[in-house]
Amino acid sequence: MEIGIDSFAGTKIENDVSTPNNNVKVLSELLERIEFADKVGLNVFGIGEHYRKEFLDSAPTVILSAAAARTKNIRLASAVTVLSAADPVRVFQNFATLDLISQGRAEIVVGRGSFIESFPLFGYSLQDYDELFIEKLDLLLNIRENEIVNWSGKFRPELKDQAIYPRPLQNPLPIWIGVGGTRQSFIRAGMLGLPLMIAIIGGETHRFRPLVDEYRQAGKFAGHPPEKLKVGVHSLGYVANSSEEAIEDYYPGYAKTFTRIGKERGWPPVTREHFNAQIGPLGALAVGNPEEIAEKIIRHSKALGGISRFTFQMVNAGLTQTQLMSSIELIGKEVMPIVNSKK
C-alpha cells in the first residue's frame, strides 16, 4: 500500500493580515516537509488548492515543482485540482511540465474542492457546479490521450486540430478523481476507469463501502480491468510516540479549526466526545501511536474491500513544524513497515 501526506499551505492571519515574512516561512517549511517525507520513504505528497487569505496554495504546481527539484522518489500530486474552475489545457500543461521536472513523478487528483471562492474568481456560476466538472474532465482526458485535440463543449471555446504541449514523461499521466460522498461521482469514476481518492474526514469509514462497490461494479461493467480501479483514502491524522501525546498535540487545534469552519457550514461545535468517537476503532480520524494507526489503516482497507493508497492530512490542527516532521518520520519508519507486513 502507498502511504503519504496531503497538505495545505496555511498561513497565520493576525489582525486580518498575513505578513510576507511569515508566508515565506510557511512555504519554506512545507518544502522541508516534502523533502523529509521523501527521505524517510513516503510514497506520495499532495498539495491542496485554495483561494482564501489563509492559504498560500492557489498555484500548487509551482510548489510541487520546487519540491521536485529537492526530492528523488516521492510522487507529487494535487489534493485536489479544482477542475470545475480551471482551464483543462493549462492544468494538463502545468502537470506535464511538473512530470518532466520530476522525471515522471507527477499525478493529478481532480475534484471540485471544499470551498467555492474559485467559481466567482474565474467567472463561473455555482449553478453549473456538476456540469462544469463533467465537461472539463472530458476535455482533460481527451488532452491526455491525444496530442492533437478536436473537442467542443458548452463552457469553453472549441479546439480544432489543436496541438497541446508539452507532453509528459509518463504515458498516461496519472489522473485520479477525488470524491466526497456523492454516489454519482463514484459511478462516474468507475465508468471512466479512473482511480478514486476518497476524502473521509468524519464519520465511520465503512459507510463508504456501498459507494466503493458501485464504483468497482461500474468499472467492471465498462470493461476496465480491476487493476485500473484503484481506491485511495485521504484522512485527517497525526502520529506521535504515544496515543496520549498524539491526542494532546492534535485535539486543541483540530477543535478550533473545525468549529470555525462549522460556523460557515452550519455544523455544531466540535466536542471532546465527538473527537473520541472519531479516533476510535471505526472512526475516520487516524490519530494515535504508530501501532494503532497501522492497525487502523488496515481496518480501513478491509472495510472498503481493499485500498491501494492512504494519505494523512495533518496541517489543520495548528501543529508545529517539529511536531509535523516527527509525525512524518514515524509514518515512514514505523507505520509503513507495519502496514505493508500485515495487509
Residues with Cβ within 8 Å of 313's Cβ and at least 6 positions away in sequence, in order, are 5, 6, 7, 201, 234, 235, 236, 237
Q: Please report the pLDDT score of residue 17 as a whole number.
A: 67
Low-confidence ranges of the chain (pLDDT < 50): none
Instruction: List, for residues 59-108, the tens digit of each pLDDT value.
Output: 999 999 999 999 999 999 999 999 999 999 999 999 999 999 999 999 99
Q: Please report the pLDDT score of residue 343 as a whole number.
A: 60
SS (H, E, C) 114-137: CCCCHHHHCCCCHHHHHHHHHHHH
Q: Please report the pLDDT score of residue 320 as a whole number.
A: 96
- CA dist 102 to 68, 154, 211, Å? 5, 34, 34
The angle at the Cα of 268, spanning 181 to 121, to the nearest 5 degrees, equals: 60
- For the record, the C-alpha cell of 25 comes out as 516561512
Q: Please report the pLDDT score of residue 13 as a whole number.
A: 74
Out of 3.40.50.720, 3.40.50.620, 3.40.50.300, 3.20.20.30, select the CATH number for domain 2-342: 3.20.20.30
Q: Please report the pLDDT score of residue 196 as a whole number.
A: 97
Q: Please report the pLDDT score of residue 50 as a whole number.
A: 95
Q: Are 4 and 311 in contact (CB under 8 A)?
A: yes
Q: How far is CA 16 from the centre of its chain?
A: 28
What does the alpha-carbon distance between residue 100 and residue 61 come to, in Å, rounded to a whole number?
12
Q: Are 295 and 303 in contact (CB under 8 A)?
A: no
Domain ranges of the chain: 2-342
210 C-beta neighbours (distance < 10 Å), count = 11
Q: Please report the pLDDT score of residue 114 as a whole number.
A: 74
